[in-house]
Amino acid sequence: MYLESIWRDILVYCSADRLAYSQSQKWGFFMKTAVVTGAAQGVGLATAALLAQQGYRVWLTDLQAIDQAVKQLRASGADAHGLQGDVSSEDFVKEFAATVQVTHGAADVLVNNAGISLIAPAEQTTLQQWQRVMSVNLQGPFLLCKYFGLQMLEKRSGSIVNVASVAGLRGVIHRSAYNASKHGLIGLTRTLAGEWGGRGIRVNAVCPGWIKTDMDIADQGSGAYSDTDIINRVPMARFARAEDVASAIAFLADSERNGFINGVTLPVDGGWTGDASWDSLRTKTR
Ligand SMILES: NC(=O)c1ccc[n+]([C@@H]2O[C@H](COP(=O)([O-])OP(=O)(O)OC[C@H]3O[C@@H](n4cnc5c(N)ncnc54)[C@H](O)[C@@H]3O)[C@@H](O)[C@H]2O)c1
């Protein structure tokens, strides 16, 4: 590990730009390992693909079968691996963290992306629904931070990016459990940034606006909102793309270039949270 870090420093020092460093990662020995949850589709898969393209070895996990996503990334030349499981299960997260560590050493990057949505009036939200949303969206990231964080703390370096939401920064009607989970995730992010920053671990969050993924399609299927509702609300007049979010995650994950960014909650929302205008005023400017 010591020799590896010296070589990495020399390569970074000698290279005029990022290219030489990312090429060096492709030698395998120098490769950094990134773990992405909820990576079978949507933002998770786009993030794993981008990180692989940037020279990371990627470990994907999801509740759904992950083989297809791993195969797809390998076909494009990635060093990709997968393990199927539930992020809310402590047994699974422990096994996953141990598998990655035994195979490739401690993870360098953890992206807590797995999440589920719930649209329901608060007074009709059952305890079971509330608990499931909290288990996946908040308990899961806590467990992953804990078990991958232990590996990172041991080598005193690492970067964690949590995928929250604008719903972690603002209230949104009929999403009490989801919003509370994402507000909680931001609280966890800020707390760990403080607790672990002095030991070389950065912890940040991205807060996307509405993204055109299966989650949005399922939510819209319930009749809760339309494309026009979102487009009218966003200053940039469109949905986020999974790639927009992946690119912000990769930016925060990159400790070589962005190693002093810690404890931030970065909106990736086309201006949503910055704009308090009403829709007719906003749409008049287009
Ligand atoms: N789609 C949006 O509009 C939007 C907006 C803001 C934030 N987000 C957040 O972005 C993240 C990714 O969402 P997406 O839009 O790609 O949705 P998605 O539904 O396409 O992907 C989520 C993935 O998480 C996996 N998953 C769900 N529960 C899991 C569990 N218990 N263990 C492991 N994996 C599990 C799913 O199988 C799925 O592959 C989520 O955290 C979501 O809350 C989404």
Q: Is the distance from the beta carbon of residue 169 to the nearest atom of ligand 1 less than 6 Å?
A: no
Q: Is the distance from the beta carbon of residue 114 to the nearest atom of ligand 1 less than 6 Å?
A: yes
CA of 137, closest atom in ligand 1: 41
Q: Whose CA is nearest to atom 7 of ligand 1?
A: 165
CATH architecture of 31-284: 3-Layer(aba) Sandwich (3.40)
Q: Is the distance from the beta carbon of residue 116 to the nearest atom of ligand 1 less than 6 Å?
A: yes
Q: Is the distance from the beta carbon of residue 62 to the nearest atom of ligand 1 less than 6 Å?
A: yes
Q: Is the distance from the beta carbon of residue 108 to the nearest atom of ligand 1 less than 6 Å?
A: no
CA of 214, closest atom in ligand 1: 20
CA of 182, closest atom in ligand 1: 43
In the residue annotation, 178 being an active-site residue is answered as yes
Quote the pLDDT of residue 222.
Answer: 86
Q: Which of 29, 30, 22 lies closest to 52 in space, CA to CA?
A: 22
Quote the pLDDT of residue 9.
Answer: 45
Q: Whose CA is nearest to atom 1 of ligand 1?
A: 211
- Do β-strands 57-62 and 33-37 pair in parallel, antiparallel, or remain unpaired? parallel
CA of 167, closest atom in ligand 1: 6
Find the 115 Cα to ligand 1 centroid distance in Å.
Answer: 4
The Cα 236–Cα 205 span in angstroms is: 21
Quote the pLDDT of residue 13.
Answer: 39
Cα dihedral 125, 128, 130, 132 sign: negative
Q: Is the distance from the beta carbon of residue 40 to the nearest atom of ligand 1 less than 6 Å?
A: yes
Quote the pLDDT of residue 37.
Answer: 99
Quote the pLDDT of residue 285.
Answer: 96
Quote the pLDDT of residue 259.
Answer: 97
Quote the pLDDT of residue 247.
Answer: 98
Quote the pLDDT of residue 24.
Answer: 44
Q: Is the distance from the beta carbon of residue 266 to the nearest atom of ligand 1 less than 6 Å?
A: no
Find the 234 Cα to ligand 1 centroid distance in Å.
Answer: 21
Sequence-separated (6 or more) residues with CB below 8 Å from residue 97: 107, 144, 147, 148, 150, 151
Mean pLDDT by 10 residues, the chain (286 residues): 45 41 53 98 98 98 98 98 98 98 97 98 98 98 98 98 98 97 98 98 98 93 92 98 98 97 98 97 96
Domain boundaries, the chain: 31-284
Q: Whose CA is nearest to atom 31 of ligand 1?
A: 86
Find the 114 Cα to ligand 1 centroid distance in Å.
Answer: 5
Given the residues 21, 56, 147, 178, select the one marked as catalytic. Answer: 178
Q: Is the distance from the beta carbon of residue 82 to the nearest atom of ligand 1 less than 6 Å?
A: no
